[in-house]
Amino acid sequence: MNCRILPGVILSAVVIAIGAVHAGQDPTVQTPVFRTGVASVDVDVVVTDKKGNFVRDLSADDFEVFEDGVPQEISTFSFVALPTSTTSPDDADGAREGADAEGRRFIMILNGHGPRLARIAWMFVDRALSPNDQMAVYYNDPVSNAFVEGQPFTASKPQLRAVIRRIEPQFRPFQPPPFAGGGGFMSGRELAEERHRRDLDRFEMLRRAMESLAPTPGRRKAVLWFGGGFPFQWTQGRSIAQALDLAIAYRDVIRTAARHHVVIYPIDPVGLTGSLMRKAGLRALAEDTGVEGVIGTNDYEKGYARIVREMSTYYLLGYYPKVHHRDGKFHSIRIRVKRRDVTVRARKGYYADEPVRPAREAPRPPQAVETALAALRVPPELPRDASPRDAIWWRAAALPRASYERTSDSSFTRTERLRLEIPSGDTAGASAQLLDRQGNPLRVPLQVSDRADASGESRWIVVDLALAPLAIGEYVIEVTQGETSRALAFKVVP
């Protein structure tokens, strides 16, 4: 029987799931934590009246802060008001690149398709960005089915419009690959695993985006999520392990948002249409970071104006928790204002430090993995003509119809695809898997095929891999054919 998790209790479900994970996980595994320590907990607070106007005349005495229901003493209080003027859509740049003036920083993530989503994205650039704001753009690449960077941080509206226009035909939601690694159609189980991986990619993209916003002092920071919803029905059609994967991924998103003071604004391009569950999930994601998304409406301009107000005018409260938690659990924060007929929005809480666990020496990786990683330290040779004994690396941009180029350098960026060709000694089917530095298998699909050379005398095993889902680091591709296997390493670099 499938269990339906209600969006209103998402954080409670995460706490329960994380508790179950900690009960059985390896004590050496560490996850990112929100370092409370002796530092204060800071909370951005937006207070509006019945008409939606910001209430500007409050003092510290007008606020009450509760952590886990316990009153806290406010130690720091300030009122922040940033300029909200926007430049004309026809202005050339709107601001100097790298300007030091205070402003906001946005990351726009496009996870959808079609001209409607493009128009909504352009509208935000034209109507919501102020001269000192900066924005970066990521989108879902149709070839790798993973998120890639389309535009680094810039204050130039023409550059932002250009990248949205350039990648508009590439906007698309999850499209499961129709073929498995061996060339046949994917089974129902394989499709479900691939969809689960894409769901995890969405949370991972949010986490990476917020990490990239972290080193931004003096600026209000937000992620704008345009497009598809999030998988909040964690146990529906999934194994217990997959449900816990999603619970942990969501926990890490909320933890990262709290640690770096980043908010997430989901912007749903379907307007008044779309399922209630989709809308509820997007609303929960926004509310758990202390804001309100643009969901269930066709009046995007009004929603964008509200985002600008919330990002420009707010109270910043700080307090030292009366109890210093080191339990890895979620601790709620509630802000109350001693005034009637006002609405208060703030993040719902934070995750405390994990308890200190004794370190344990990591197991040594298999010899084949060590040998492959050691080969990365050897300077690359110039490309040679293909020999029946050589493995060959190829690289290509993660763009439609991009052609591969042979390379001797096994270092790649996340915006590329790699291809590895290994000489084949027989006609037995081959398989491949991606390993980390310790030799642990990673759940990243590899496309495996074979080819003959021009003479027809030699055959090659061909492994294709999109690198966008991978973090920076070293990896090993293990190819198995019959009773033999071979491991080759590569690096993902910035």
> What's 426's domain CATH number?
2.60.40.10
* Judgement on whether residues 406 and 330 belong to the same structural domain of the protein: no
Amino acid identity of residue 70, one-letter, is V
pLDDT of amino acid 344: 94
Residue 255 lies in a domain: yes
Residue 1 lies in a domain: no
Residue 127 lies in a domain: yes
User: What's the CA gap between 335 and 342, in Å, rounded?
Assistant: 12
Tens-digit pLDDT string for the chain (494 aa):
333 343 334 444 444 444 443 443 343 333 333 333 446 888 999 999 998 889 999 999 999 999 999 999 999 999 988 877 655 444 444 444 443 456 889 999 988 767 888 899 999 999 999 888 999 998 877 666 667 788 999 999 999 998 888 776 655 544 444 444 444 455 666 677 777 777 888 888 888 888 888 877 656 799 999 987 776 666 677 778 788 888 888 888 888 888 888 999 999 988 888 778 888 888 988 988 889 999 999 999 999 999 998 888 899 999 999 988 888 888 999 999 999 999 999 988 888 877 777 766 667 788 888 888 888 877 655 444 444 457 889 998 866 667 889 988 889 987 788 999 998 877 678 889 999 888 888 888 788 888 887 777 778 899 998 887 787 889 999 999 888 889 999 998 87
pLDDT of amino acid 361: 67
* Judgement on whether residues 199 and 341 belong to the same structural domain of the protein: yes
Residue 322 lies in a domain: yes
pTM above 0.85, yes or no: no
* Judgement on whether residues 344 and 388 belong to the same structural domain of the protein: no
In this structure, the strands spanning 330-337 and 416-424 are unpaired
* Domain limit, last residue, from 319, 351, 383: 351
Question: How many helical (H) and strand (E) elements, i.e. helices and strands, does the chain have?
Answer: 8, 23
Specify the DSSP element, H or E, that contains 396: strand 392-397
Domain that holds residue 213: 7-351
406: left (phi over 0), alpha (psi -120 to 50) or beta: beta
User: What's the CA gap between 443 and 249, in Å, rounded?
Assistant: 15
Residue 297 three-state SS: coil
Residue 362 lies in a domain: no
* Domain limit, last residue, from 326, 351, 376: 351
* Residue from 306, 303, 310, 350 nearest 326 by CA: 350
Diameter of the chain by CA atoms? 84
* Judgement on whether residues 151 and 84 belong to the same structural domain of the protein: yes
Q: How many CB atoms lie within 10 A of CB 248?
A: 18
Residue 330 lies in a domain: yes
* Domain limit, last residue, from 295, 325, 351: 351
Residue 170 three-state SS: helix
pLDDT of amino acid 178: 46
> What's 275's domain CATH number?
3.40.50.410
Residue 271 lies in a domain: yes
Number of domains in the chain: 2
pLDDT of amino acid 217: 65
